[in-house]
Amino acid sequence: MANHDYGLELTNNSKVGWAFSLPRNKSCINATSICKKLCYGNGVRYQTAGQKAKRERNFRTVQFLLNEGGSQLLAQNLGSIVEAARPRDWLTAKITGTHTAIPWTLRIHDIGDFFHSVDYVEAWILTVQKYTDCKFWFYTRSFSDTDLFEALTRLASLPNCQGWLSIDSDNFESAILAKCKAPASVWNLALLQDRDLDVGVLPALSSMEKPVVIVNFPHHRGGRHVEPVRNNILTHCPAVVGGLSLKSSKDVARPCQSCTFCLP
Ligand code: SF4
């Protein structure tokens, strides 16, 4: 029987703050075997029935809205979740010309990716263009489909949005090729450093002609992480290697909101 429960909903976690998520099995079309194995989405707090149902409902709703009214209709509805992420003191800050206590940010996909849908990317482009005061960022492994990558490159080119190509030992070569095809400085790279990082990864990254920004996430679980590889082209995520602690309260800046390295 079809499920007729619809709605778009954010999550708010102690590292990222506000984020939108989709089910991995339906949206992570280019997941590598390493990311499937090491994804933090395997963790207990992402695997509760409630969290899974929320991601399924988001996906069902995205598809419904795209079918009914395309990117425009989906963008109208994504707007409501972006507004829900607006800091409490946003209006006061606007009127008084000051800054909000916590920045207005939204990560597109804490869990999930852009599946096969250019229309879905177009909806995010419309949304990001509308909410210029909000900073968006996303990580993706969807760089093998030409049309999808072209749309994602337009999304990542917007001034209030930063895109990151997620790489690991399995896919670094195709990510480097994709980055080289896109306009310089649009894409940054995000490395998932597993315990047995392929010996070719760092030489390949170091040999790129144009300067590249690379954030490194040494694989971590349960408060422990693998020893970060030493190379000055990498910036290790401080929330992983210990420089920034997780924040449980929504009323204080979360690590990503105070670090801002991955944000536009
Ligand atoms: S580097 Fe900074 S912004 Fe990026 S994921 Fe880590 S804490 Fe967040």
Residue nearest to atom 6 of ligand 1 (CA): 237
pLDDT in tens, 209-230: 888 999 999 998 877 889 999 9
- pLDDT the model gives residue 251: 77
Q: Is the CB of 41 under 6 A from ligand 1?
A: no
**Encoded tokens for 45:** 């707090």
Contact 165, 178 (CB under 8 A): yes
Residue whose CA lies nearest to ligand 1 atom number 4: 262
Give the atom of ligand 1 at the shortest distance from the alpha carbon of 239: 7
Q: DSSP readout, 107-147?
A: EE-SS---TT-HHHHHHHHHHHHH-TTSEEEEEE---SSHH
Give the number of other Cβ atoms within 10 Å of residue 147's Cβ. Answer: 10
Place of tokens 């992983």: 240
User: Of 213, 214, 261, 263, which is best to mutate to test ligand 1, by the most ligand atoms within 8 angstroms of its C-beta?
Assistant: 261
Query: Domain boundaries in the chain?
Result: 12-259
Instruction: Please report the pLDDT score of residue 133 as a whole number.
Output: 96
Q: Is the CB of 255 under 6 A from ligand 1?
A: yes
pLDDT mean over 7-14? 93
Does ligand 1 lie within 6 Å of residue 192's CB atom? Answer: no
What band does 38 get if pLDDT is binned at 50, 70 and 90? Answer: confident
Return d(Cα 231, Cα 222) in angstroms, integer. 25
Any ligand 1 atom below 6 A from CB of 262: yes
At 46 the pLDDT is 81
* Per-residue pLDDT at 136: 98
Give per-residue pLDDT as tens, 166-187: 999 999 999 999 999 999 889 9
What is the pLDDT averaged over residues 91-110?
95
Torsion over CA: 17, 20, 26, 29 (sign): negative
Sign of CA dihedral 82, 87, 93, 99: negative
Q: Is 259 in the pocket of ligand 1 (CB under 6 A)?
A: yes
CB-count exposure of residue 167 (10 Å: 0-12, 13-18, 19+): buried
Pick 41 or 81 by higher pLDDT. Answer: 81
Give the ipTM of the model, two decimals please. Answer: 0.98
Q: Would the pLDDT of 1 be above 60?
A: no
Cβ atoms of residues 85 and 9 within 8 Å: no
pLDDT at 146: 94
Tell me how far apart the alpha carbons of residues 44 and 253 are, in angstroms, rounded to a whole number.
24
Question: Across the chain, where does the E strand assignment appear?
Answer: 10-13, 17-20, 105-108, 135-140, 161-167, 187-193, 214-218, 220-221, 224-225, 234-236
User: Considering only CA atoms, which residue is closest to atom 7 of ligand 1?
Assistant: 256
